[in-house]
Structure 1
Amino acid sequence: MARYVLKRLAHTVLVLWAAYTLAFILLTALPGNAISNLINNPQNQLTPEDGKLLKAFYGLDHPVVVQYVHALDALLHGNLGYSLSSGAKVADLLGDALPGTLRLTALGFVFGAVIAAGVGVVGSYARWNWLRTLLQSFPALAASVPSFVIGILILYSFSFQLHLIPAVDDGTLLALLGPAVTLGIMVSAPLSQVFSASIAATRRQPFVHVLQARGAGERYIFGRGVLRNSSLPVLTMLGLAVGELIAGSVVTEAVFARNGIGQITLNAVNTQDLPVVQGVVLVATTGYVLVNLVVDVVHPLIDPRIRADILAARPKKTKGSEKGAIPARPGPDEATSPRLPEEVATR
């Protein structure tokens, strides 16, 4: 198990490096940058000489390979660089905006999990066919509607018409409900689809029929066997859910005018502030791979089948191989005949 965890850690570090490198290559290949925009803006009254000094200060006058080495070295020392537009530290900008986005994504995930659980359970056990059909069609409907459309509908209905939630973020919990429900509906689509399919597949398993034959009720069968076995496939979807939450928070924060990583990302993209965009990519990728790492480590602990596969994949050391001896080949009878249990062999 320790070897499996070390492999997952190495894979996590490799993914982070690949994402940062790919983002650096793509962003530096784009035409223009924030300094060029500052120079071309007549309100700033900057001369070309000022632009050269700024490029030298930020290291943009070096070749791309040298810039990458300097950026990677600074990253290993905990320095994400400085914003080309404001001159502030990227780490400070992201640190100020990250708590609000974390609260939003955490509450959005809670709403998404509750919606997915309700749709999966009620849609599988409802007595009315129309309700089952309606809930089973919910994942496709929720996945087909963009998150900004859901956010606009919630904002218009509950803010402008019913006046139940604030239209602009004022730091209260009520202002967090609108964007959190928007993210929850978006992320509940894949979770509810997988959960519903998993419940249907689990209810067809032989142990369910055995419990039914013994007179067990549906509530007992669901609580003792169906729920646990149906939740395992949903656990593997948590990484995808976190990715959707991170991507959806950018649009949702813009719709509800919230200060967070989404607003910083939009401003950095509009001004071509490359260090800030790279910092956002690094933070988002770190959250995504850490959640997947936790899922990969926890999944074998709760699923004995995966744990057995991991243990079976370990190379087995024989007594002869430990001493450096060559193991003897089995005879033809020994190699082809099955090995019987001792109880059967002694009869």
Structure 2
Amino acid sequence: MTARGALRLLGGAAVVLWGAFTVSFAILYLLPSDPVSIMLSQSAESLDPAQVQALRERHGLDRPLPEQYLTQLGNALTGDLGTSVTTGAPVTDLLAEALPHTAALAGLALLLAVLAGTGIAVLASWTRARWLRAALLALPPVGVAVPGFWVGLVLLQLFSFTWYVFPAVGQDGFASLVLPAVTLAVPLSATIAQVLARGLDEAWRAPYADTAFGAGASRNRVLGAHVLRNGSLPTVTLIGVLTGNLLGGTVVVETVFSRQGLGRLAEQAVTTQDIPVVQGLVLTGALVFVVAGLLADLAHPLLDPRLRGRRAAPAPRAVPA
């Protein structure tokens, strides 16, 4: 990657993070209520207007919106995401406490999704049995259509309440990760299988596959050396996008399985309109999205040698008359 390409990627990442911060700030501050009002409405104690005003001043909610925006943006650039309005804890501490739980869940879910989606697509592409191919290609649409919370409830009923294989709730050890990860992996694996199957079908019809067959290569050799490598390029980009979207899926899954993590933290922060926490979560999600996209861009040259060391074509030199 050239220096210009690296600067372009970093500039794009900065724009994405700034845009995520700005949009979240605008949406949250356009809501009809504010965190202090919500917090006081849930409290049994009644405060006089002077105390309410003091709370708003302490959290900077009495300042003009442009000043609040610039102050919070400047603090975010230095790594200070503020303090939670409802708990008073630093947002970075809340994120650091919840992130490992969600990272473990999302990592296992992504691994299962890649293995299952790749297995379905490769087997459907490789087999010559029409009935098996049709059955395999019918699975991804079902996986995409089924709601995630329904999958989680069915898994709970079967593997926790009927067969007692995995714990129903909590986060005690690897066993408690299995059902939430499978629930999160089902729609991801279906999407991966759909895109990869389409890419493999196009790769089988490409001229390089015919050339390899003409040179005497076996079907397995063509699949492993040519079809899978070239047909998986769109899927690599898709996996980067899905990785960035995993945070949204963990909200439902962590709620169904009563797990602590970024998803549950997001649910609580949105319910109480805890603006600093919500913005910290939005920035975290945007950062994950940017890093995943960057890794996908870096993986493309490994799969397609034509992308390695690509340079812009030099400008033609003038030919003297």
What is the TM-score when the length of structure 1 is the normalising length?
0.87
1:23 is matched with which residue? Answer: 24
Q: Give the paired residue count.
A: 320
1:260 is matched with which residue? Answer: 261
Displacement of 1:207: 2.5
| C-alpha distance in 1 between matches for 2:132 and 2:261 | 38
Displacement of 1:92: 0.5
| C-alpha distance in 2 between matches for 1:6 and 1:27 | 32
Cα distance, 1:225–1:271 mapped onto 2, change above 3 Å: same
Displacement of 1:317: 8.2
* Structure 1 letter corresponding to 2:10: L
1:278 is matched with which residue? Answer: 279
Cα distance, 1:218–1:49 mapped onto 2, change above 3 Å: same
| C-alpha distance in 1 between matches for 2:249 and 2:216 | 46
1:74 is matched with which residue? Answer: 75
2:311 is matched with which residue? Answer: 311
| C-alpha distance in 2 between matches for 1:199 and 1:21 | 40
Look at both structures and tell me which one has the larger radius of gyration over its CA atoms: 1
Displacement of 1:239: 2.3
- C-alpha contact (below 8 Å) 2:148/2:184 kept by paired residues: yes
For residues 213-264 of structure 1, the C-alpha deviation after alignment (integer angstroms, 9 at most, x for no partner) is 3433211221221221122221111222113322111111111110000110
- C-alpha contact (below 8 Å) 2:171/2:177 kept by paired residues: no
Gaps of 5+ in 1: 319-326, 332-347
Displacement of 1:48: 2.1
- C-alpha contact (below 8 Å) 2:244/2:292 kept by paired residues: no
| C-alpha distance in 1 between matches for 2:249 and 2:79 | 27
Displacement of 1:66: 0.5
1:117 is matched with which residue? Answer: 118
Displacement of 1:55: 0.5
1:341 is matched with which residue? Answer: none
- C-alpha contact (below 8 Å) 2:236/2:299 kept by paired residues: no
Displacement of 1:62: 0.3
2:93 is matched with which residue? Answer: 92
- C-alpha contact (below 8 Å) 1:187/1:245 kept by paired residues: no
1:135 is matched with which residue? Answer: 136
* Structure 1 letter corresponding to 2:159: F
* Structure 2 letter corresponding to 1:298: A
Cα distance, 1:135–1:244 mapped onto 2, change above 3 Å: farther
1:32 is matched with which residue? Answer: 33
| C-alpha distance in 2 between matches for 1:107 and 1:115 | 12
- C-alpha contact (below 8 Å) 1:140/1:189 kept by paired residues: yes
* Structure 1 letter corresponding to 2:280: G
2:163 is matched with which residue? Answer: 162
